[in-house]
Chains A and B, each alone.
Chain A
Amino acid sequence: MKGVAKRIASHFQEEDLLSAATGMCPGCPAELAARVLFKVLGKNVITFRTPGCQPIFMTRLAGIPCLMTNIASSMTGARRYLHKIGRDDVTCVAFVGDGATADVGFQPLSAAAARGEQLLYICNDNEAYMNTGVQSSSATPQGSWTSTTWVGDSHRGKGNEVKYMPLIMLMHGVSYVATATMGYYEDYVLKVEKAKEAVKHGMAYIHLHTPCSIGWRAPQEKSIEMSRLAVQTNYFPLWEAEDGKLKFTKRIKKPTSLNELIKLQKRFSHINDQELDRLKQTIDKRLALLENLAVE
C-alpha cells in the first residue's frame, strides 16, 4: 500500500476512542462511523451530542450533552471561548441526528453556518426520529411508512419530499460540505480528513447516511449493502464542496434500479409502481440539480 490508501489504512492503527461496548443496535453504521471519526480526529476534541441515537455518548472524550433545539449554538459558545483563550487547536465536533439537524435544531445550525463558526458538524441521517420510535422527520423519504405517516385509505406514507440538508448547508457558504456513507468508508475517511482541516476556516458539515434496520424494517446484516445501494441507485449521491465548489466523489455511470434498495425495506412494502416512479422522479430531479451545480 502507498499514498492515499496507506494514509487511510494508517488511521485504523489509531486508538479506538469509543467504548468497547455501546448501546447502539446491531448493524448500526453510525457506531462504525463514530469509531472511524475519532481515529481520524484524535483526542483533542470536545464532543457535542443531543438525546437520540448518538454513539458519541459512549466515548472516552470530553463531551457536552446539548439540547436538540440549540446544539450548534452550544458548540459556538465553547468554540468562541476556546478561541479567546488561545485553544484553536481543539476541534468542536457534533454527531447529531437528522431531526435535530433538519427540524428542531435547524435555526441555530443555519445561524452558526451563516456566522462562519468553526464547527465540525456531522448529521447522522437515518431518515426519521429513530430513537423515539420511528417518527417522521423532514429527512424522511417520500412514501415511507413511519409511526406518524401511516399507510391507509387516506394517506400512503409520508407525503412530502426530503428536505435536502447538504445543499441547504452549501448555500450558507460554509467551508466544507460533504455527503458520506459507511458503504464507502475510504471516501468517508478522506472527507473527515478534509473537514478536520476546513474547520479551521469555518463550518464543516458532513451529511452521513446511516441505514437503520429498526426504522427501515430491514435486515440488520444489510446496512452496509443498503448504504452502497443508496449510492449506486443515486438515492444518496456522494459529493463534496470545498469553498463552494461542488464535485462528485463517486460517479454512478450505470445506476442500479431503485427497486433493489426499496425492496429490502419493509417501510416501503406498500409502494406501488406509481409511487416508486414518483420517488424516482424526486431522486432524478435532485441528481440533475447537483449535476448542474457540479464543477466536475
Chain B
Amino acid sequence: MNKPAVETKPNIEVCDGNKAVAHAVRLSRPDVVAVYPITPQSAVGEWLSRWNDEGTLNAEVVRVEGENSSMGVCCSASLTGGRVFTGTSSWGLLFMMDGLHYAAGYRIPVVMTNANRETPGIFTIGNSSQDMWSVRDAGWIQVNVEDNQEILDAVIMAYRIAEDTDILLPMMVCYDGFYLSYRKDPLEIPAQDDVDAFLAPLKQSKRNIVTPDDPMVFGIPSFFPKDQGEGCTEFRYKHSAALERVKDKIDTVDKDFEAIFGRSYAGQIEAYRTDDADIVLVATGSVCGTAKVVVDKMRDDGVKVGLIKVRLLRPFPKEKIAKVLEGKKGIGVIDRSVCFGYHCGHLYMELKSALALEGLPTTLPTLNFIGGLANLDITVEQVETTINLTLAASKGETVEEVTWLSLEE
C-alpha cells in the first residue's frame, strides 16, 4: 500500500471505520498516541503505527501493554501540553475505567475512540452499546455516530470541542464496532490544509500545563477534610457546568465544520422527518441508517413517523429532544444494550428521565425495544415492528412497555 500523500485537496478513498479514525487522527496532528490492540478496532493502532514509522505522521507512538496504560500515557502527555489520542473497545474501555475518571476529573482533553462492543461476562465478540453506556458517569463528553464519514468528521471535531478552553474535557467518539469498524465506504478524506485551518483556533487557547519552568501541581492542595470537600465540590460543579456548555459548543463547532468541509451532522441530535410526525423513533448509532430507510418506507405508506438520532450521549441533550417530542403521540426507543436494574435499555432510561425533567406529560406513550445484542442485526422488519407497536400504543392500545427483539424464551 502506498503512503498517504499529504493532501492539498479532498481525496476520495474507500475506508472502513477504523481507517476513518486513523485518517482523522493523522490529519489532526497529535503529539502522542497510545496504541493497544483489541477487536474490532485494532486497525486504528496499526494504521497510526505504520504511518508514523513510514514518516507521514509525526507523533510519539507508545505501544503500551494495556488500555489502562493507554489512558495514563495520554493523560500525562496532555497535562504537559500535548495533543493526544488513543482508541479502544469494550474490555479495553472497562480496563481503563480508573483512567477515564482521572482524565475527566483533571479536565484533561484526551480524544479517544471507542468501537462499541459487548462487554465481558458472556464471551461474545460482537457489537452492542453496553460498553459505551457503562462509562457514561465518568464525566466524559460522549458522542455516538451513524456512519464512517461521520466517524472521520466527528474525531476531527472532537479536538475542537475537547481542547476548547471553555470546555477542557476528555471526549469519546463512539462508533458501532463490527458494523462500522469493518464496513467499507468511499469516504471524503479532508485536505490537510483545511483541517489545519479548522483546528487553528485552538492555537490561541492557553491552558494550564505541568512544566518545570512554572511549577504547578494538579490536585486539591490540602489534606484537611473540609478543604478537600469544598475543593472537590467546586471542581465537580465546574466540571458539570463545563459539560453543559458542550451542548451549544457541539452545535457551533458543527456549523464551523460545515463552513469548511460542507458536511453537517446537526450537532447534538438529528431530527429526521419529525416536524409533522405523530410518532417518533429515538435511536443512536448505526441503526439510525436502517431506521431512516424504514421511516421513508412507512411514510410512503402514510404513517406519520420520524426519527431522532441521538448523537450526543454525555451531556444528554434533553432540551433538544424534548422540544422535538413536544406534542407527539407516541415514542419508540431502540436500544442495543441493557440497563440492569431498570430492566430496559439505557437510551430508554435516559429518555424517560429527560422527558420528566423537561416537563413532558408522563402519560405520553413511550415504548422500548432492545435488540441487536452481540452482533444480531436490527433488521428492517424489526424496525417496522417498533413503529407498528408505537403506533398502536399512540392510539391507546395496550402494548408491553419493553420488548426484547430476537428473544426466544
B70-100 vs A, CB cutoff 8 Å, 1 = contact: the mask equals 1111111111111010000000000000110
B62 within 8 A of A: yes
Instruction: Specify which chain B residues have a CB less than 8 angstroms from the CB of A100 in the assembled complex.
Output: none
Given A43-B212, A70-B68, A70-B71: 7 more A-B contacts, CB < 8 Å: A45-B212, A46-B210, A48-B76, A62-B210, A73-B70, A108-B64, A108-B65
Complex contact B215–A80 (CB within 8 A) = no
Per the CB 8 Å criterion, the residue count for chain A at the interface is 36
Query: Could you list 29 examples of A-B contacts with CB < 8 Å?
Result: A44-B212, A46-B211, A62-B212, A63-B217, A66-B72, A67-B99, A69-B68, A69-B98, A70-B71, A73-B76, A74-B75, A75-B76, A76-B62, A76-B76, A77-B32, A77-B62, A77-B73, A77-B78, A80-B73, A80-B77, A81-B31, A81-B77, A81-B80, A82-B80, A84-B32, A85-B31, A107-B66, A111-B66, A115-B63
B218 within 8 A of A: yes
B223 within 8 A of A: yes
Per the CB 8 Å criterion, the residue count for chain B at the interface is 39
Instruction: Specify which chain A residues have a CB less than 8 angstroms from the CB of B70 in the assembled complex.
Output: 73
Give complex CA distance A61, B98 in Å.
25
Give complex CA distance A78, B215 in Å.
15
Complex contact A81–B82 (CB within 8 A) = yes
B218 to chain A, nearest CB (A): 6
Instruction: Specify which chain B residues have a CB less than 8 angstroms from the CB of A72 in the assembled complex.
Output: 69, 72
Give complex CA distance A74, B32 in Å.
12
Give complex CA distance A46, B219 in Å.
15
A73 to chain B, nearest CB (A): 3
B31 to chain A, nearest CB (A): 5
A264 within 8 A of B: no
Main secondary structure of the interface of B (DSSP, over half): mixed
Complex contact A64–B218 (CB within 8 A) = yes
B34 within 8 A of A: yes
A147 within 8 A of B: no
A159 within 8 A of B: no
B216 within 8 A of A: yes
Interface centre among A73, A76, A84, A110 (most CB of B within 10 A): A73
A219 within 8 A of B: no
Give complex CA distance A135, B218 in Å.
28
Give complex CA distance A277, B382 in Å.
73
